[in-house]
Every structure is written in C-alpha cells, then in structure tokens.
Amino acid sequence: MVFQGLNGHFKIMQNLNEIEDLIKLISKLPGLGPKSAKRIVLKLINNKDELVKPMASTLVQVYKNITRCNLCGSLKSNLEGCTNCENTKEKFNKICVVEDLADQWSIENSNIFKGYFHILGGTISSAGQRKEDLLINSLVERVIRENIEEVILATSATVEGQTTAYYIQDSLKQTKTKITKLAQGLPVGGEIESLDDGTLYSAFKNRSGIKTNSD
C-alpha cells in the first residue's frame, strides 16, 4: 500500500480491491464522502486488533440479531423481542409518531416525552414512497388495541412530512383519539433529528390539537 501527503489522502495499490470496496461502502454513510471514508479506512487498518476485529464481530451480531419491528418500526432483538411495543414494563396512553429512528433517538435523548413511539419508516413523497410502504395501518391497530388517548404527530415541517401527517390524521379519525401536532419552535422545513433539546421541548409543550373531518 502506498500513502501520499500529510493531509490523510492516500493512493491504493490496484490489487487491494478489499480496501477499495470498503472505502466505497463507508462513503455511502450519511455525511461521509470519499475523502472522509479514506481517512476512516486508514484509521481502521492501522488499528486492526483494536478496531477492525471487534467491529467486524459486532456488525455480524447486529446483522444476525437486530431487525425492525413490523408493528411499531423500532429496532428489536430477535432474542428478546421489541421493547417499544411488546415487552414494555410500563403502560402509556400516548404514542409519538416519527418518520425514522433518528427522530426517535433525538426525542428520547431530550427526555421531553414519556410514552410509546411509532416509527413510520419514511414519509409519503413524490420520490416513490407510498402510504402503503409506511407503518400507518399498524399505528391504527396499536391505537385501538392499547386504548391510546393521544397521538402526537412529530413529522418534519416539510411538504412530505405534513402530507404524511394529514394522511395519518385521516386514517385515525374513526378511532376518536385525540390527535396533536408539534407546534411552536418547529421551523418550516425543519427535520426532527436536527433540532436541539430546547426547540424540541418548545415544540412538544406547545403542541396543538388537530380537528378531524368528523369533529
């Protein structure tokens, strides 16, 4: 292997296909490009025993044992089940609906919500994501089965997020459950995972009710 320059850039010998493949895979991760991926790979190969070996073992275990729950969309262990909707120690009367896992983690870390989460797996969009691809039907099932009193729509303030929220609202209107949405503090076009704790707190505290067509 040949390294070049002091700024972390390096060239890879043509016969090291494994390294090239690893760089391509890492560069697909959010926020990372080819240059960042090269620096990460360099760090890994210089610390094979400390980083590569345990990381490879952990990734294998994650691949084998961790899946998305078909009911609530959260991560679950194949060995223990879903702690969000199956094996919960506490019973709640609220469900917070978010677009993806990053949104759930942001809200959990802020300690502003005490209740269940429901992760849709995306939004209804013109890019091909259909309402049938999202866990909306299972949300309705959970609301009815768990006797949920309030559903908080914490979708992003984007066109796709608001379109999805409107469809969820329409799907839940027959349940007579109170439906609220995040209010002040959520900027237009803002995504949940990018908001700080103070903004999230304001958005939850000042959430407002949504009138349905049946009201």
E strands, the chain, are: 2-3, 10-11, 66-68, 75-77, 94-98, 116-119, 150-153, 178-181, 208-209
Please, what are the domains in the chain?
Answer: 2-66 (1.10.8.420), 94-209 (3.40.1360.10)
User: Rounded to the nearest 5 degrees, what angle is found at the Cα of 99, between the Cα atoms of 93 and 100?
Assistant: 100
pLDDT attached to residue 23: 92
* Residue 189 backbone class (left: φ over 0; alpha: ψ -120 to 50; beta: rest): left
Q: Which residue has the tokens 């990381």?
A: 55
Give the mean model confidence (pLDDT) for residues 110-114: 85
Which one, of 130, 135, 131, lies nearest residue 116 by Cα? 135
Residue 25: its pLDDT value, please?
Answer: 93
User: How does the average pLDDT of the chain come out, rounded?
Assistant: 81
pTM above 0.75, yes or no: no
Query: CA 41 to CA 136: how far, in whole Å?
Result: 40
Helix or strand or coil: residue 52?
helix
State residue 34 phi and psi, 5-degree precision.
-55, -40
CA distance 204 to 184: 8
> Residue 129 pLDDT > 70, yes or no?
no
pLDDT digits 0-9 by tens, 159-214: 888 889 889 999 998 888 999 987 655 555 556 666 666 666 666 666 666 655 55
Residue 9 has φ and ψ, to the nearest 5°, of: -80, 145
Long-range contacts of 85-94 (CB under 8 A, 24+ apart): 85/116, 85/142, 88/116, 91/146, 92/116, 93/146, 93/147, 93/148, 93/149, 93/150, 94/148, 94/149, 94/150, 94/151, 94/152
pLDDT-based confidence at residue 9 (cuts at 50, 70, 90): very low
CA-wise closest residue to 174 among 125, 137, 140? 140
53: its two tokens: 């070996």
